[in-house]
Chains A and B, each alone.
Chain A
Amino acid sequence: MSMPALKTDAASTALPVTAAPVVTMTPKRAPQSEKYAKMAKEAAVRVVPPLIVVAFLLVVWELICRRAGSTLPPPSRVFSDTKELIFDPFFDHGGIDKGLFWHLSASLQRVAYGYSLAAIIGVALGTLVGQSVWAMRGLDPLFQVLRTIPPLAWLPLSLAAFRDGHPSAIFVIFITSVWPIIINTAVGIRNIPQDYRNVAAVVQLNPLEFFAKIMIPAAAPYMFTGLRIGIGLSWLAIVAAEMLIGGVGIGFFIWDAWNSSHISEIILALFYVGIIGFVLDRLIAGVAKIVTRGTAVN
């Protein structure tokens, strides 16, 4: 029985082998530089259009804000005003008079704590709600109401509870980003195909093995959708929360700049906030791509 299969396999592979040298010769003759040129072309296609748009917008901005009496500084002034902050992000004169690096890292730390907590608790609660009908009936209405509360509305309550700005900020991050993680995880768990459950039943996986080997990988694409929305929301919330809490952090840096009328500094800070938000999003997307390889396509 197996013999015909092997024979046909050999026959079908034999054909391309004879044809192969002819095929491979052509690309080899092509100079290496052609390959680089192609890569450069691909990069240019991605990079050039946004560069043109950015340059165009900068020119428009410059033209609009150049006039005397303009309320906002033009890009050239922003650059000259904030040169010091751009080129020396690491200075530390004590108190809150620090370089942007320290402000950003303080904010990122808060996000890291709050978001990690949200990820762990969100996945755990999402699993519970996805797995148990009664947990869903009991908890889902609660989640649907709580998730609509704006992040900053939690801040006074958490300040009252914790009596300190730092844990309050972390709590706000947590409470903002936990909902999409819970809801998406629950959907992912509920959508695990019956086939996989049957396989687990036949193999007799215990609940713990089922959780680790079937549930988490099967629900991973959904979980990461939630985690990605969550990181975006937590970065949104931290800036607002820090404005009110004070201390070191990019949010308070912006607020402080506003109070001292350093509009250029605000613009620089916004630029950094945007870039970091983008990087965080890409980071989670990258992790998702590695973790869910194979799962998404079925």
Chain B
Amino acid sequence: MQAYLKLDHIDKIFTRGNATTEVLKDINLTIEKGEYVSIIGHSGCGKSTLLNIVAGLTGATHGGVLLENREVNSPGPDRAVVFQNHSLLPWLTVYENVKLGVDKVFSKTKTRAERDAWVMHNLNLVQMAHAKDKRPNEISGGMKQRVGIARALAMEPKVLLLDEPFGALDALTRAHLQDSVMALHQKLGNTILMITHDVDEAVLLSDRIVMMTNGPSARIGEVLEVPLARPRKRLELATNSGYLKCRQRVLEFLYERHRFVEAA
């Protein structure tokens, strides 16, 4: 099968003055179209850096990212990012925040009315159409993240990049939003690359889990296939042996073989 997104021998070295830190070492990963891949690792292992490299926000020191066999090294709407802290522009309404991307991406291909309908369609997908005229500081954290997802989806990205999208949310809101993302993935068939440090989240959502060793010079330690049928139901999986086995594997990797050495 042809690789849709390919991370090819990526190294990342940060240089500050005389000090150089090798953050990522020889990262190789291929992702197929429609796949949901999570990257999990302890904090500081460079997983966010890796996502930023895929997004084009940070350059790789060696190696590169290939999307449909073409190198991508600058940011663009084909790799839309849902940021951890939502990053909605506070002076724009929910509608305008989504529209910002839509207007740029579809300026030539869609008429004004079509763009408007497209914005509303995406707000509907995340059940946020009712708040379209609200400003970000008037809605809850979970709602902001929903809008962030709508903004990214509305750009029709080839790959959707999620940077710890549920990290800043409380447990109940997080579960709710995870279910929403699963439903969207089921419905739209997006290719998704997600950064997380939550084992349950990774197992529940992903087709494959990429486990990273601790930095510096973090590498891909292990890639785990999650052989669970979709649609997945949170409650049923709690007692599913396949689910528990996957969970066990990831936990073992993170807490036995690659224990976070510094004080947590």
- Which residues of A are in contact with B by a Cβ distance under 8 Å? 1-2, 5, 193, 195-196, 198-199, 201-205, 209, 213-214, 217-218, 220, 292-295, 297-298
Contacts and interface: CB of A to CB of B under 8 A. Distances in A.
B57 A217 contact: no
B117 interface: no
B104 interface: yes
Contacts of B79: 202
B106 to A, nearest CB: 12
B77 A2 contact: no
B40 interface: no
Given A198-B57, A203-B155, A297 B100 contact: no
Interface size range of chain B in the complex: 20 to 34
B87 A217 contact: no
A195 B101 contact: no
B156 interface: no
Contacts of A209: 104
Contacts of A193: 87
Contact of B83 (A2, A198, A220, A297): A198
B72 interface: no
Interface string B220-235: 0000000000000000
B89 A196 contact: yes
Contact of A205 (B104, B127, B136): B104
Nearest to A220: B91
Give the one of B80, B87, B180, B182 with max A CB within 10 A.
B87
B53 to A, nearest CB: 13
15 contacts: A193-B87, A198-B87, A202-B57, A202-B77, A202-B80, A202-B81, A203-B77, A203-B101, A203-B104, A213-B100, A214-B89, A217-B89, A218-B89, A297-B90, A298-B90
A1 B90 contact: no
Contacts of B182: 1
Nearest to B93: A294
Contact of B55 (A202, A204, A217, A297): A202
A204 B104 contact: yes
A292 B91 CA distance: 7
- Interface secondary structure of A, over-half rule: helix
B91 A5 contact: no
Contact of B183 (A1, A202, A293): A1
B34 interface: no
Given A196-B87, A294-B90, A294-B135, A202 B127 contact: no
B83 A195 contact: yes
B75 A204 contact: yes
Contacts of B90: 294-295, 297-298
A217 B81 contact: no
Given A2-B127, A203-B101, 20 more contacts: A1-B179, A5-B176, A193-B87, A201-B57, A202-B155, A203-B104, A203-B105, A204-B77, A205-B104, A213-B100, A214-B89, A217-B89, A218-B91, A294-B90, A294-B92, A294-B135, A294-B136, A295-B90, A295-B91, A298-B90
B137 interface: yes
Interface string B82-102: 010101011110000000110
Contacts of A220: 91
Given A5-B127, A294-B135, A297-B137, A195 B85 contact: yes
Most chain A C-beta atoms within 10 Å of own C-beta, residue among B57, B91, B182: B91
